[in-house]
Structure 1
Amino acid sequence: MARPSVLDVGLETVTGDPKQILAQQFGMDRFRDGQLAVIERLLGGKNVAAVFPTGGGKSLCYQLPALMLPGTTVVVSPLIALMKDQCDALAARGIGAARLDSSLTTEEFRDAMQGIRDGSIKMLYVAPERFFNERFLASVGTLDVSLFAIDEAHCISQWGHNFRPDYLKLAELAKQLSAKRVLALTATATPEVLADIRDAFAIEPEDAIRTKFFRPNLQLRSSVVDSETHYSVLLDRISTRPPGPTLVYVTLQRTAEEVAEQLVADGHPATAYHAGMKPEVRSQIQQDFIQSDSGIVVATIAFGMGIDKSNIRYVYHFNPPKSMESYAQEIGRAGRDGQDSVCELLLLPDDRVVLENFTYGDTPSRHNVGRLIDLIAGQADTFHVSHYKLSSETDIRILVVRTLLTYLELDGYIKATSPRYDTYKIKPRVTSQKILSHFKGEPREFAAGVLSSLTKGRTWFLLNTVLAARKLGAERQRVVKAIEHMAEQGWLEVQTSDLVHGYRWVNRLDDPKTLADDLHGRLARRESGEVGRLEGVFDLARSESCLADQLSQHFGESLDQPCGRCTACLGEGPQSIPQPPSRPLGSSIQRVIENLVREYPDRFVTARDRARFLCGLSSPGFIRSRLTRHDSYGVCDRIPFAQVLTQVGGTSD
């Protein structure tokens, strides 16, 4: 039965019929599995979770309702390339969409906001970090948000494979924006992660729509190789199988360059791709690959997010993925046209050391966690703090600093308030007289006061918004909104810097030492969890049972029968994976560390500091002291971190 053309949902009016819009706007004659169930629940005013495999059509679940709902659909996505691709694709269909990310110019930002306000733009794609930008919050705070969609929603789970502390605040942000409904989307949610998503966004069990994970056209293969045969096995696969668009995933940027160069030398046109390349170069590589029928891209995980190419025939993992979730996401880019595709893991056991050591690099010492707690404990009842300065002062990576502050929020000690930029850089495009001619009465006096608060810099004027608000006897937010309005009108060009995050105390710390112990313990458990996720990949590579069934079970499903096409089902497993041998550091390395401890006593307080240096794991302190350029930095990068840590003085700090 067709949905009525007009449907009242609370105070909203939903217009149109999903099936007609699917045909008219998207050129499709039927929905994919799960899509209509998600869309109908959203149109009924419910919060929904959609767990679809990579390539399963998640984006339609918010794009189509956006055309039927009266207000704006805000889509949160961490993938700038995906946002750009989807906006371009929607524009080609005559559907207004805009993205707000760090790559936009002032003019592009102004045009996007104008389109949202006049109704010509229905969808707004936003990177999560934009919600820490008070200019952005000042602009979108008055929008009528009919739908708040969160892509990569698994990032909200502290125990998922790609936890991002920014995501934990999205549930509160949805309330702040008075969003009428929420859609959480992911391709890689285990049952535990889906439970976290449902709890965060108040999604009922029956409104969590999960489609079949298993795709029978993907042939999952694994081969255990050694360092001498590693590349030759890849070359053999590419040379002997029918040509087709191919992705080769590697861990390191230099590996992408080396493997691509070797393939070219061996007669296979291949291109390297990694995050170290300029954006325009990466974009051109993506476009060339999308248009190619036999292109080969050797890439780090920076490649593939949001790439709309249905006929990828081969995905090779030259280096193993860091988790089963990453593996599922990466092989999910193959065979979206339903045709057979081969996904092969070429497992070099020594690669485990590199991936494990990356994991250990994020965990700070107990000593440094205590330093961070002491710095926070000394703050006033309400305070603003720079995450970058905290990272520098505590020698903790900035993502981990944000995670620790988020834990303090979740535990009820502090509450985040509005972030702010301490410095606004302003370049007038018209005269002050022309700007003021657009205002009358008190608003004109206020605008004049704001402009008179500018101080002349070398090429830009500077505005201290706190001092300007104090001088004008106004709320600082009014000063920010005035500047934002002038920028939107094209009268000013505005740049911001010195971002500081606001907090207020809810419950003061009564036992900082015990709290620091607890927080360090949480980080250590996350570290163990990351290492355990890598173990799942190695278990898969052993091929002791059907690979497709192992992967499906990881995501809460099981196959009725083995796939019949994977390495295990074809009788080519199980395979043995040797353990890396124990390697002593030697007296010369011990002497290097002793000398460094004497020369940099503040940088090598704990055994973990010493082990991180030897394994080539950077920290803010190492970078600031230029220790990452030291001849001995990373000399043990092929030795398991746990072995190095034990040999330099301990197992934990």
Structure 2
Amino acid sequence: MAVTYDDDEFGLSSADEAEFVALADSVAAKHTNKRKASNGELPPAKKLAIDPKAIALATTALTRDFAMKEFRLKQKQVISWILNGGSAAVVFPTGGGKSLTFQVPAVVFSELDALNDTRHEGNSGLTLVVSPLIALMKDQVDSLVRRGIKAAALDSTKTRDEYLETCRMLRDGELKILYCAPEKLNNEGFVEQMKYVRGGIRLLAVDEAHCISEWGHAFRPDYLKIARFSQEIKAERVICLTATATPRVASDICRSFNIDETEGLFRTSTYRKNLKLLAESGRTKQDLYPKLFGFLRTHPGPSIVYVTLQKQTEFLAADLRSQGFKAKAFHAGMDTSVKTQLQDEFMRYDDLIIVATIAFGMGIDKPNIRNVVHFNIPNSLESYSQEIGRAGRDGKASHCMFYVCGEDLHLREIFARGDLPSKKSVRRLLDDIFDPTMMQLPVGGEIQRNHMSQGKDFDIRSTTLANIYAQLELTHQLLRATTPMYTKYSYKAGSQYTSPSGGVGSDKSQAAQAIRAYGKRASTLYHIDVSAASSALRLPRVDIVKKLNEWSEAGHIELRPGGVMHVYKILRPIRSAEIEKLTTEIYDLMERREQEALARTDQMLELITDRKCFSLALAQHFGDELPGREEECGHCTWCMTHVQVLQEVPPPVEFNMSAFKTVLSKIPDRDDPRLLARIAFGIASPRVTSMKLSKEKIFMSMADHRFMV
């Protein structure tokens, strides 16, 4: 069985928007002229004392625009702090209402401006929200628009018309809230637009802010660029939001955005008294099936059962249906329409069990989820906390069951060991990035690199590759990512394509002539090398791309771009002698992260095998305590039984020499020992995939062994 990893929308790729750079430039020029005319920047928002007027406006907005009677947790304190001009870090539990802490200020800014006569209509600025989840962005934007609040999102699903309408609202000062993915910050046109938004960026909201910390469980390199971005666009204030931040991670967030940790950090208790944290162990997975069936019969209601692998969702859902349960599988490999339908069904029905990977649950706000079951080991206490936080949001008793057995141990290694390439692979990658041609370019010059090709050539996963480039950019300051571009443009010609009297045929522009000259027809599609046409005709590449999009929108052609090429500017020169040292530094950091990933899984196991209250141990991990500093919650497995849950470890496995020799005989390559280990252990990688080994018997043939021997 091939191991398919499931990070769903956390694997977003940058959309190509080179065609919009010219539009952004025109917006920038327009607003630059306005600022020059006023001898400087737009004035920052006047710092307001926290007074009844601001709170009254916020409370009115809460009732009028969000149909809520009162603030919860520390929402009111956060909103007051933001309206007073402060930046904040907000650590609220899953379902704790984090989004209102930036949505309410976004609505109130203009009203407060009018009340204090500080800014005129259309100049109240924008709240920009950086979020990694397309589905969550869509849900929040749809909800805001239904409530009459001008909101939009810029992501890879948007059409050009939708993009241009969003730009118009920005230009006219109509938009209150704009959502975007962190990858958007690599787009030069977008960054320029945000620098010159009418009224400025009043508030930059960073969702899933724990991703910024290298000590966090979900570190994403693009998040490291947000702090730099906030300075470049001169955001007046920042709010960072997360449900899962240890004290160390919270400090990282505050330090990155210059947030006053003593006053600007707002944390509420992670403990929820209606959640019963339970655990059971078994010698084998087969032993646990009857326990799972019995648990779900005893505790009916909407339930989520989390597993690790995509195939497991299908198998376990089928097993549950055979036992009479209404169960369906969900994973990131499904079509978007199927996933949307499943999410809608789960929201509607109160007897459905969803067997899912971690792809399910982000943005699901169903108040009466009665059970969250972990049938495999979560990869961290942070993930566990976030996932169980989806249960019992209505305040009623809900159960969170964790089943563990020794057979799961290889899965933790699959996830922890999968991201580290060999040191040799890292060196070869750096040699490819800093090739002789690049070494001769001046500071400010540009290089183009295809991440997909590099991943295959050097057997490095896309997330790991992005991490390496982020280190080169942020730690070593050698490169800076700029707007990606497509390398391939193909199109299907419409009926008017060759007509001299209308449509494409009557377009006499230089860009149109370039497309007709360089668009080569294959069987049914035309293919054009835009860069070659641009270079040969000395025509800006963006003009050709804009013309292709224009024809596509008019229905003259059906455009099919592809092959993203990442573009980097050179920040400083590097000597060949430095590359070996650079390789060691990057590899050592990656090796440390692998050990940290294994340690996080160990923490998860310790939670349920220790002689201690589960709820207390989880709270203390996040720097918290139980109410009244109690030592026991009274309703977890430990508190109810005071019997330690023992993880049953399978007996040692004798080294399978026969399987080992088969792997060696099937794989003649000896350039990367880690490749051989991955194949034997069942860990997918770009090279393993390209060699089509996942269906071979040797793949996963030694999964019951230790990865490191």
Taking structure 2 as the reference length, the TM-score comes to 0.81
Residue deviations 1:112-137, cap 9 Å, x none? 43444444442222122333355655
Quick check: 2:194–2:201 contact (8 Å CA) kept in 1? no
Offset of 1:139 from its aligned partner?
5.9
Match of 1:223 among 276, 280, 286: 280
Kindly provide the amino acid, as one letter, of the partner of residue 568 in structure 2.
Answer: G
Aligned to 1:402: 466
Indicate how the Cα distance of structure 1 residues 448 and 176 shifts in structure 2: closer, same or farther if over 3 A, else same: farther
Gaps of 5+ in 1: 1-7, 437-443, 647-653
Kindly provide the amino acid, as one letter, of the partner of residue 634 in structure 2.
Answer: G
Indicate how the Cα distance of structure 1 residues 51 and 392 shifts in structure 2: closer, same or farther if over 3 A, else same: same
Quick check: 1:422–1:499 contact (8 Å CA) kept in 2? yes
Quick check: 1:98–1:124 contact (8 Å CA) kept in 2? yes
The yes-or-no answer on 1:449 pairing with 2:516 is no
Kindly provide the amino acid, as one letter, of the partner of residue 184 in structure 1.
Answer: C
The yes-or-no answer on 1:234 pairing with 2:292 is yes
Indicate how the Cα distance of structure 1 residues 164 and 48 shifts in structure 2: closer, same or farther if over 3 A, else same: same
Kindly provide the amino acid, as one letter, of the partner of residue 158 in structure 1.
Answer: E
Quick check: 1:48–1:183 contact (8 Å CA) kept in 2? yes
Indicate how the Cα distance of structure 1 residues 118 and 68 shifts in structure 2: closer, same or farther if over 3 A, else same: same
Quick check: 1:449–1:472 contact (8 Å CA) kept in 2? no
Quick check: 1:141–1:177 contact (8 Å CA) kept in 2? yes
Residue deviations 1:415-456, cap 9 Å, x none? 3142331547487999999999xxxxxxx9xx9333433232
Quick check: 1:422–1:465 contact (8 Å CA) kept in 2? no
- Alpha-carbon distance in structure 2 between the residues aligned to 1:20 and 1:433: 60
The yes-or-no answer on 1:130 pairing with 2:193 is no
Match of 1:17 among 41, 57, 68: 57
Match of 2:255 among 183, 188, 199: 199
Kindly provide the amino acid, as one letter, of the partner of residue 531 in structure 1.
Answer: L
Q: Secondary structure at the match of 1:222?
A: strand
Pairwise CA RMSD of aligned residues? 3.0
Indicate how the Cα distance of structure 1 residues 471 and 616 shifts in structure 2: closer, same or farther if over 3 A, else same: same
Offset of 1:187 from its aligned partner?
0.5
Quick check: 1:106–1:494 contact (8 Å CA) kept in 2? no
The yes-or-no answer on 1:308 pairing with 2:365 is yes
Offset of 1:608 from its aligned partner?
1.5
Quick check: 1:413–1:508 contact (8 Å CA) kept in 2? no
% identity of equivalent residues? 36
Q: Which runs of structure 2 are paired with 1:339-358 in the superposition (5 Å)?
A: 339-358=396-415
Gaps of 5+ in 2: 1-41, 49-53, 110-123
Q: Which runs of structure 2 are paired with 1:561-576 in the superposition (5 Å)?
A: 561=630, 562-576=632-646
Kindly provide the amino acid, as one letter, of the partner of residue 341 in structure 2.
Answer: Q
Aligned to 1:606: 672
Match of 1:48 among 80, 83, 88: 88
Aligned to 1:553: 620
The yes-or-no answer on 1:68 pairing with 2:132 is no
Offset of 1:628 from its aligned partner?
2.7
The yes-or-no answer on 1:412 pairing with 2:476 is yes
Q: Secondary structure at the match of 2:647?
A: coil
- Alpha-carbon distance in structure 2 between the residues aligned to 1:491 and 1:12: 51
Aligned to 2:342: 285
Q: Which moved more, 1:587-596 or 1:299-308?
A: 587-596
- Alpha-carbon distance in structure 1 between the residues aligned to 2:168 and 2:557: 16
- Alpha-carbon distance in structure 2 between the residues aligned to 1:494 and 1:214: 52
- Alpha-carbon distance in structure 1 between the residues aligned to 2:306 and 2:698: 29
Match of 1:393 among 450, 457, 467: 457
Kindly provide the amino acid, as one letter, of the partner of residue 182 in structure 2.
Answer: P
Quick check: 1:311–1:334 contact (8 Å CA) kept in 2? yes
Indicate how the Cα distance of structure 1 residues 132 and 466 shifts in structure 2: closer, same or farther if over 3 A, else same: farther
Q: How many equivalent pairs are there?
A: 621
Quick check: 1:250–1:299 contact (8 Å CA) kept in 2? yes
Offset of 1:596 from its aligned partner?
2.9
Kindly provide the amino acid, as one letter, of the partner of residue 65 in structure 1.
Answer: P
Aligned to 1:635: 701
Residue deviations 1:91-112, cap 9 Å, x none? 2212222222222333433444
- Alpha-carbon distance in structure 1 between the residues aligned to 2:78 and 2:547: 40
Offset of 1:176 from its aligned partner?
3.1
Residue deviations 1:503-556, cap 9 Å, x none? 314251443223212221111110000000001111112141111110011111
- Alpha-carbon distance in structure 1 between the residues aligned to 2:602 and 2:73: 32
Indicate how the Cα distance of structure 1 residues 554 and 369 shifts in structure 2: closer, same or farther if over 3 A, else same: same
Quick check: 1:274–1:303 contact (8 Å CA) kept in 2? yes
Residue deviations 1:589-612, cap 9 Å, x none? 1321331343xx2xx423222111
Aligned to 1:526: 593
Q: Secondary structure at the match of 1:350?
A: helix
- Alpha-carbon distance in structure 1 between the residues aligned to 2:81 and 2:556: 44
Quick check: 2:663–2:698 contact (8 Å CA) kept in 1? no
- Alpha-carbon distance in structure 2 between the residues aligned to 1:19 and 1:486: 49
Match of 2:271 among 214, 222, 237: 214
Offset of 1:302 from its aligned partner?
0.5
Offset of 1:581 from its aligned partner?
3.1
Offset of 1:321 from its aligned partner?
0.8
Aligned to 1:581: 651
Match of 1:104 among 158, 172, 176: 158
Kindly provide the amino acid, as one letter, of the partner of residue 652 in structure 2.
Answer: S
Q: Which moved more, 1:476-485 or 1:500-509?
A: 476-485
- Alpha-carbon distance in structure 1 between the residues aligned to 2:554 and 2:396: 51
Quick check: 2:610–2:645 contact (8 Å CA) kept in 1? yes
Aligned to 1:622: 688
Aligned to 1:81: 135
Indicate how the Cα distance of structure 1 residues 194 and 224 shifts in structure 2: closer, same or farther if over 3 A, else same: same
Kindly provide the amino acid, as one letter, of the partner of residue 280 in structure 1.
Answer: S
- Alpha-carbon distance in structure 2 between the residues aligned to 1:179 and 1:343: 41
Aligned to 2:430: 373
Q: Secondary structure at the match of 1:99?
A: strand
Quick check: 1:424–1:494 contact (8 Å CA) kept in 2? no
Offset of 1:488 from its aligned partner?
9.0
Taking structure 1 as the reference length, the TM-score comes to 0.88
Q: Secondary structure at the match of 2:637?
A: coil
Aligned to 1:3: none
Q: Secondary structure at the match of 1:569?
A: helix
Q: Which moved more, 1:129-138 or 1:616-625?
A: 129-138
Quick check: 2:276–2:399 contact (8 Å CA) kept in 1? yes
Quick check: 1:426–1:492 contact (8 Å CA) kept in 2? no
Quick check: 2:379–2:600 contact (8 Å CA) kept in 1? yes
Aligned to 1:174: 230
- Alpha-carbon distance in structure 1 between the residues aligned to 2:47 and 2:383: 40
Aligned to 1:649: none
- Alpha-carbon distance in structure 1 between the residues aligned to 2:475 and 2:105: 36
Quick check: 1:357–1:640 contact (8 Å CA) kept in 2? no
- Alpha-carbon distance in structure 1 between the residues aligned to 2:332 and 2:539: 47
